Structure 1
Amino acid sequence: MNILNNYTTVFIDRDGTIGGNGHYQSLNDFELFPYALSSIARLKAHGMSVFALSNQTHIEKGDMNYYDFFNSLIRMGFDDAFICPHSEQTNCNCRKPKKGLIEQAHRKYNFQNKQSIIIGDRFSSDIQLAQNCQMLGIHVATGKFEPQYFIDNQNHQKKNIITVQNLENAVNYVLSN
């Protein structure tokens, strides 16, 4: 393993983080940001495990097939994907910001939360999950606009939260720290 820093595991959200605009888009309509695949590859080249992490209500609604969605993420270079297929009304334990997807990952892989990162575009789900699991949360400004009412902006560093412009900047941060 060729890890340059203390981080071993990175979870990355799909919608608004690796592409799209933060809202649901079908597999055919979803467009990756130009730097998304190379960003995933750079993390893996440094010995990190890189997992997709996504809430996909449209699977439960029948608008998307779970396995087609999962396989699309694997084709992008992710080592594995942890997907909540439920709507908020289902009240499952896997919908971000609940810890269920991270618990699923722990059942399959050996990693420490304190050496893990969640990169995403939403404070209310991605960054809140990072907080709930005591992981570094890296917020990217490329997805759905969301007020920062969950996080006190002046205490980002103290609360283990970083805000960057996009996934490429997030990966640069990870690889330099």
Structure 2
Amino acid sequence: MLKIQAVFIDRDGTLGGSDKVIYPGDFKLFPGVKESIKLLKDNHILVYSFTNQPGIANGEAAFDQFEDELKWFGLDKAYICPHRHDEDCTCRKPSPGMLQRAAFENDLELNRCAVIGDRWTDMLAADEAGCIKILVKTGSGQEAYDKYINKQYFGRWGEIQPDFIASDLNEAINWLMAKEGVKK
């Protein structure tokens, strides 16, 4: 059994908020999320954000505001793509660029990491990087799940399948902990 090194968590719709972007200062975590993050950290698993935030490029918020907020929530480091979708960057999901950068900077084996998100772009990036893929049904997750069930999502190599589908982040982390043999 490979021990999980890190968990990458999407922000909007996964950690809290909704399916829309809520800027720092107004963003609220879903119930139990701080405790779930603490559970990961208590078990020596790194916890990173993994989020597209084009509002930074549009001047609607600053990179530091997102980074500070995510660290205040208990995450170890923030991986944030500040670009708009039309900028052709290598970091914006569904590209695995943020995951690859984190692996390089933190000496991670991506096949020993998990991605938790509410959008199919999260699953595509995780799949391409070789991470465990967990789709949550919060935020845009129910819509992504419905499209998945109807076989509307494919990746570079064919149909993408999440390793686990959770009702929320807390259930996703409990599943990972059980997989690791950790009792809550």
- What TM-score does the superposition give when structure 1 sets the normalisation length? 0.90
Partner of 1:168: 170
Q: Structure 1 residue 119 and structure 2 residue 116: aligned?
A: yes
The 5 A counterparts of 1:151-166 are 159=161, 161-166=163-168
In structure 2, relative to structure 1, the CA distance for the partners of 1:59 and 1:119 (3 Å cut) is same
Match of 1:61 in 2: 58
Alignment gaps of 5+ in structure 1: none
The 5 Å alignment of 1:1-177 reads 6-123=3-120, 125-144=121-140, 145-146=143-144, 147-148=147-148, 149-150=152-153, 159=161, 161-177=163-179
TM-score using structure 2 length? 0.86
Across the aligned residues of Structure 1 and Structure 2, the Cα RMSD in angstroms comes to 1.8
Counterparts of 2:119 and 2:50, CA distance in 1: 12
> Which consecutive unaligned segments of at least 5 residues does structure 2 have?
180-184
Q: CA, structure 1 residues 55+141, in 2 after alignment: closer, same or farther (shift >3 Å)?
A: same
**Structure 2: how far apart are the matches of 1:95 and 1:77?**
23
Residues 97-141 of structure 1: CA distance to partner in whole angstroms, max 9, x if unpaired? 102111221231011111110000001x11111111111100000
Kept in 2, the 8 Å contact 1:127–1:161? The answer is no
Structure 1 runs of 4+ off > 4 angstroms? Answer: none
Identity %: 31
Deviation at 1:143, TM superposition (A): 0.9
